């Protein structure tokens, strides 16, 4: 529930502040790896995590203060959209596959 509220808050912030935001960036999950190890996006930009594996994933996004957004179980073929409304550094992991890790830096445009 708490995670959902955080996600909803992030989504709301995105909705108010992203009218001129950049288009979404897609990160693929295939072969139990993220397609990017490091990614830079602009504040307000959305990252779409696409599960192209044959197994489920569980996207977990943690900011510098330890606040976490959890996608829940992400079945194969589905996507999880994560708007980044706040500049900073984020660690993205898969809760199921701990070696799947990537860093996202959100810049102030």
Nearer to another protein by Cβ, of 23 and 98: the residue is 98
Point out which residues bind another protein (CB under 8 A): 31-32, 54-56, 58, 60, 70-73, 95-99, 101
Nearer to another protein by Cβ, of 43 and 57: the residue is 57
In the complex, minimum distance from the CB of residue 81 to another protein, in angstroms, rounded to a whole number: 16
In the complex, minimum distance from the CB of residue 103 to another protein, in angstroms, rounded to a whole number: 10
Return left, alpha or beta for 88; rule: phi > 0 is left, psi -120 to 50 is alpha, else beta: left
Torsion angle of the four alpha carbons 54, 89, 62, 69, in this order, in degrees rounded to the nearest 10: -80
How many CB atoms are located within 10 Å of the residue 95 CB? 16
What order of strands is seen across the sheet that includes strand 46-51?
33-34, 25-30, 46-51, 79-83
Nearer to another protein by Cβ, of 46 and 71: the residue is 71
In the complex, minimum distance from the CB of residue 31 to another protein, in angstroms, rounded to a whole number: 6
């Amino acid at each position: 529930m708490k995670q959902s509220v955080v996600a909803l808050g992030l989504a709301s912030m995105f909705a108010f502040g992203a009218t001129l935001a950049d288009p979404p960036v897609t990160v693929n999950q295939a072969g139990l790896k993220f397609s990017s190890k490091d990614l830079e996006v602009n504040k307000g930009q959305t990252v779409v995590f696409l599960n192209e594996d044959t197994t489920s994933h569980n996207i977990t996004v943690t900011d510098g203060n330890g606040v976490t957004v959890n996608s829940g179980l992400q079945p194969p073929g589905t996507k999880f959209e994560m708007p980044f409304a706040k500049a900073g550094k984020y660690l993205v992991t898969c809760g199921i596959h701990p070696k799947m890790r990537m860093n996202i830096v959100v810049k102030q445009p």
